[in-house]
Amino acid sequence: MPLSLALVALLVAQAPAPPAPAAPAKLVPMTVKVEPSAKADAGAEAWAKELRAALAVRKDEFRVVRPGETAELVVRIDSVAKGKAETSVMNGALTVGTVTKPFNLSYPGPTTPQAEKLARNLRKLADQMKAAPK
């Protein structure tokens, strides 16, 4: 009996180790362009500036397009208007490839925290748009 336990222990020790779990895929920064629309007001210009600043910090997720380069993601800010109950509404659109999705964002208070929140969620939204059936 002791011999069979020793044999089992030896076989277990010689068995190949299970493969190590795969390392998470390194996220490649997505090229992005943030632009106010052609008819944008000063509020849209300010929003675009805030969003660019929030995206610039997220270097692992985004990279601002270089001159002559086509952006994978274009964020267009159309307008910013006062909403109900001390809120503001920002209207814009996201474009990934040939797919454009208009959106609006209603928010209280200053623009900066809202631009940071949008920047935090923008990669997930863009990836969902890429994966959506055409």
| pLDDT number for residue 16 | 61
| pLDDT number for residue 132 | 77
| pLDDT number for residue 134 | 60
| pLDDT number for residue 131 | 84
Domain segments of the chain as ranges: 27-131
| pLDDT number for residue 41 | 87
The backbone torsions φ and ψ at residue 101, rounded to the nearest 5 degrees and listed phi first, read -120, 115
At the top level of CATH, which class does the domain 27-131 belong to? alpha beta
53 by Cβ neighbours in 10 Å (0-12 / 13-18 / 19+) ranks as middle
Q: What is the pLDDT of residues 15-31, one digit of tens each?
A: 566 666 665 567 789 99
| pLDDT number for residue 20 | 63
| pLDDT number for residue 108 | 92
**What pTM was computed for the model?**
0.76
The segments of the chain whose pLDDT lies below 50 read 1, 3, 6-8, 10
